[in-house]
Structure 1
Amino acid sequence: MKEEILRIENVTRKKDGVVCLDNINLHIFKGEIMGMIFLTSRGKDELIELLCNNYPIEYGRIYYKEELVNYYEYSSMSMNQIYVISHNNGLIGNLSVAENIFVMRKGLKKHIINQSRLNKEFYRLFPEGLSGISPEKPAYELTHYERCLVELYRAVVADCKLIVLRDLASFLSRVELMKYYEYIREYSSLGVAFLYLGNHHEEVFLISDRVALVSEARIIKILSKEEMVEEHILPYTIPFEVGEPIPGEAAGILTFKQVSSKNMKGVSFSVQKGECVVLLDKGSDIHEDFLDLIYGRSKVLSGSIIYKGKPYTHKEARKALQQGIMTINKNPIRTMLFWDMNYLENLTFLSDRKLGCSVIKPRILESIVEEYQSYVGREIYTGNLKELEPASLYNLVYYRVHLYNPDLLICIRPFADADMYLRRHIVELLYQLKEKGITIIILSLNVADSLSIADRMMLMEDGRIIKNYEKKDFDMFF
């Protein structure tokens, strides 16, 4: 009989009076990799919270390692020995890799830490090392991939029987993800159970033994390994195709000619006006260099950049916004909104610079309200942004760009951490910008949903562009 690591029985949980987990039933066995796809994000954070902490629940029971740890009549508020690996760094930056693995765990009673002893213990447990990572390396120097690897070993050393992996594809490249899967499978074979939370079925199917589909805080379907095929998930998905591609003009708006930088090695490409191009970087180093060059944070070592038919020098790059270049960051509602300002103030932020005035005239504001009320309705009069849903906040970010109307928009991982319905909404917002003639460059680590809006995709690896895919070639990725 299989050993059960986690069992959730009929669990309902409320937060601030709202049901965030609705009659959840789930069991995970020893050594199993259980996938979970949230079609809507409701309940995702609350489920992870409840796995790690025995918070009060309205109904049901939770068993961990075959022991009752939480039930509706009594919640101990204690913590379960479950580890979460996500975009949030779980390591202490100023400590070494070995210190993070061995020292920062329960039960250690020593006050003076001997680094050489830690190193010996490190190589005793991991005779082949950690993918070339030195035990003395400070945690703050680790890449995302290295950090996730160290956290995995940290969880194993701490004897965690269940490890939660959250949205790894949003910050690891596909190559890194495939390598990480090998380590997951290795520890799965040794009895460690995993709960793998992802937004894309292609990613989750690849690693999971079973997959739970979650919508509006309820598990609506559990797929076995044999059922992990396109036809079984299609009824629960929504189409992402919108409109026809808009052809670009003959002249490229942005051209890189044999550009070399810290990580680029003679990169050459051209993006046409009105085109949407995905730069798929298997690492992410090229993305960083690209942004540094565009915004003047670093200089071209050799080669040249041409923007709108003229040399794009370091001096010009320091004034990127004035040159008509804007960026939408990853997770923009966290990083690009001003919560002490109202909707209209956020919407018109930066527009005063384009208009060349410190205060936008009332008649211009009235015109803006009239135009954008047709897109967002009465939300344009919102005073407190906290009243708005995520989709409405994404509207605000993208319509700010729509209003400013730049020549070139750079989107950094636009679908990261978004559920299926929000991803579809982001695609529609991008298409509205594309319809306006704005050239869009999407920086992505995985194919995700970018191809539904893209005209072309360039695959980058080891500092070079290794393949250029036209829209007619996109079928090979699905």
Structure 2
Amino acid sequence: MNTAAPTPLAEARDVVKRYGPTTALADGRITVLPGESHALVGRNGAGKSTLVSVLTGLQAPDAGTVRFDGAPAPALADRDGWRRTVACVYQRPMVVPGLSVAENLFLDRQPLRRGLIGWRRLRAEATALLDTWDVRVDPEARASELSVEECQLVQIARALSLGARFIVLDEPTARLDSREIERLFTRMRALQESGVTFLFISHHLQEVYEVCTTVTVLRDARWVVTAPVADLPRAALVEAMAGEGAGTGAHRSAGGPRDPAAPVLLDVRGLTARPYRDVRLTVRAGEVVGLAGSSASGKAELAETLAGLRTPLAGTAELAGERLPFGDVRGCLAAGVGFVPRDRHDQGLVPGMTVGDNATLTVLGALGRFGLVRADRRRALTGDLVRRLDIRTEGPDQPVRELSGGNAQKVVMARALASAPRLLVLVDPTAGVDVKSKESLLARVEDARRDGTAVLVVSDELDDLRRCDRVLVLFHGRVVAEHPAGWRDHELIAAVEGVDHG
């Protein structure tokens, strides 16, 4: 009797990937067997995306090996070899919206007749391909008319037509409703029976238990464990993601207990948009409230709505009794909202301007009259902000692009504080900064608390959330849990991942 283990369909061993001084993956390992539905899980920053980029040929590892079906991975430049081996389907549709389903399926390889596209043959081959894999989509429909679920199935069918039998699904359910999720899972099971293997990445652990046979956990850029899903209880899976001994101590707000009699400054009622639904929350003067959730939970979009960057479909938000003007950044700023966006490079800074220009962009009207800014006033305000936030700069006239990441983020925080806001909304305020800058930025949160500001902290970092009086957890766009100061790591992580940790 032959009991030899099957050759892995995909295998990565001892993978290391660095970006400058940052080690994104220190020990990446995974072994996916043929016919599996294999889950890859870990908190944000664990190294999942980096490992996927290596497994799909987007990045070459600095060390380690990648093999498919026992053979070395194709050379990085061999794009056709990679397409025949593996495909990744992302949560956002990767199709050309103006083209038909048939054209998307055979993009760049349309059947030709005398140098022209053979449209009849294209439609016939597309129909045959969709029928083969039981993908029920009209080949003549425009991709722009498809649902997210249908776009994902078209991408899977395209990959299968190229010969790939290893499909990476990266957060595939993030933009699907419950019925679409169940249909996707049904198609996954059917495709598995036809010889397709899946690597399934999700922040929703209940989906891992529903659709996967094996799970690999990454933590802090390293492999932690690989085990059959049936052999790993949910509590053990959360512990593997959180770290050994996580949650043994309670974390209290650094500012102490808030005043329960303090007036409510932010009052959100029934706020609804595509990424979130019926959100209700309040933040009192001097209170710091955290918003936690996966990248697809809607938390960042909710914060951007309160800052005037988005317009919801329904609901209201009042700041100090006045309605916030959704979709109007200037109006929200005038109403008293200070905002630190999630990406300082694309949303937070004007790289061609100076430190002083960037720090005072929100208060130009207070620095002069008739549209003219008085240089002495701007210099004085900038100097005060530089001292308050301990920004290491040569002076207000230094180009902001010359600053380190931590100091650049302090400039973004300075601009949010320059207008003395009544509500301070922070999205990933310490992302990508050094430890000293992180402490300095979080200290400013405590300053805002003492000043009576209402603070909303939206973050993936547990250290950012430890300073909060309460943390609300969003899951599939809804507030599903509230954790007062004193929560433990594993409790919050379980709620974020959709696990009833009971």
Query: TM-score, normalization: structure 1?
Result: 0.68
Partners of 1:43 and 1:268 in 2: CA distance: 32
2:215 aligned residue:
210
Partner amino acid, structure 2, of 1:229 = L
Distance 1:409 1:144, change over 3 A: farther
2:131 aligned residue:
124
Check if 1:235 corresponds to 2:240.
Answer: no
Task: Tell me if structure 1 keeps the 8 A contact 2:308–2:325.
Answer: no
Alpha-carbon deviations, 1:422-470, whole Å to 9, x = none?
A: xx989958954556543345789x99999764636487999xx897857
Partner amino acid, structure 2, of 1:159 = G
Partners of 1:143 and 1:177 in 2: CA distance: 9
Which structure 2 residues correspond to residues 169-318 of structure 1 after superposition, within 5 A? Answer: 172=175, 179=182, 183-184=187-188, 186-188=190-192, 190-197=194-201, 209-213=214-218, 215=220, 219-225=222-228, 226-227=231-232, 228-235=236-243, 241=251, 243=253, 244=256, 246-247=258-259, 251-255=263-267, 271-275=283-287, 276=289, 278=291, 295=308, 306-310=318-322
For 2:40, what is the secondary structure of its paired residue?
strand
Task: Tell me if structure 1 keeps the 8 A contact 2:106–2:158.
Answer: no
1:372 aligned residue:
389
Alpha-carbon deviations, 1:77-102, whole Å to 9, x = none?
A: 212122223356521121234432x2
How many residue pairs get aligned? The number is 456
2:107 aligned residue:
104
Which of these residues, 352, 361, 377, is aligned with residue 364 of structure 2? Answer: 352
Distance 1:251 1:366, change over 3 A: closer
1:164 aligned residue:
168
**What is the root-mean-square deviation in Å for CA atoms of aligned residues?**
5.6
Distance 1:150 1:235, change over 3 A: same
1:325 aligned residue:
337
2:40 aligned residue:
35
Distance 1:348 1:116, change over 3 A: same
2:350 aligned residue:
338
1:113 aligned residue:
119
Alpha-carbon deviations, 1:33-77, whole Å to 9, x = none?
A: 1415377467954x444433387666654322332235xxxx562
Structure 1: state its 5+ residue gaps: none
Q: Mean Cα displacement is larger for which, 452-461 or 282-291?
A: 282-291
For 1:229, what is the secondary structure of its paired residue?
helix
Distance 1:398 1:52, change over 3 A: same
Partner amino acid, structure 2, of 1:346 = N
For 2:333, what is the secondary structure of its paired residue?
coil
Task: Tell me if structure 1 keeps the 8 A contact 2:423–2:455.
Answer: yes
Distance 1:224 1:331, change over 3 A: farther
For 1:319, what is the secondary structure of its paired residue?
helix
Partners of 2:96 and 2:345 in 1: CA distance: 27
Task: Tell me if structure 1 keeps the 8 A contact 2:338–2:421.
Answer: yes
Partners of 1:250 and 1:98 in 2: CA distance: 60
Partners of 2:146 and 2:440 in 1: CA distance: 31
For 2:332, what is the secondary structure of its paired residue?
coil
Task: Tell me if structure 1 keeps the 8 A contact 2:350–2:358.
Answer: yes
Task: Tell me if structure 1 keeps the 8 A contact 2:252–2:485.
Answer: no
Partners of 2:344 and 2:383 in 1: CA distance: 26
Check if 1:90 corresponds to 2:98.
Answer: no
Task: Tell me if structure 1 keeps the 8 A contact 2:267–2:282.
Answer: yes
2:498 aligned residue:
none
1:455 aligned residue:
470
Alpha-carbon deviations, 1:224-280, whole Å to 9, x = none?
A: 233543444443587694515634655433446788999999987655444427598
2:77 aligned residue:
77
Task: Tell me if structure 1 keeps the 8 A contact 2:272–2:312.
Answer: no
Which of these residues, 416, 424, 436, is aligned with residue 401 of structure 1? Answer: 416
Partners of 2:453 and 2:461 in 1: CA distance: 22
Deviation at 1:372, TM superposition (A): 1.2
For 1:361, what is the secondary structure of its paired residue?
helix
Task: Tell me if structure 2 keeps the 8 A contact 1:199–1:417.
Answer: no
Deviation at 1:181, TM superposition (A): 5.5
Partners of 1:416 and 1:430 in 2: CA distance: 12
Q: Mean Cα displacement is larger for which, 245-254 or 27-36?
A: 245-254
Task: Tell me if structure 2 keeps the 8 A contact 1:325–1:407.
Answer: yes
Identity of aligned residues (%): 15
Which structure 2 residues correspond to residues 391-430 of structure 1 after superposition, within 5 A? Answer: 394-410=409-425, 414=428, 428=442
Partners of 1:24 and 1:260 in 2: CA distance: 39
Task: Tell me if structure 2 keeps the 8 A contact 1:10–1:25.
Answer: yes
Distance 1:466 1:329, change over 3 A: closer
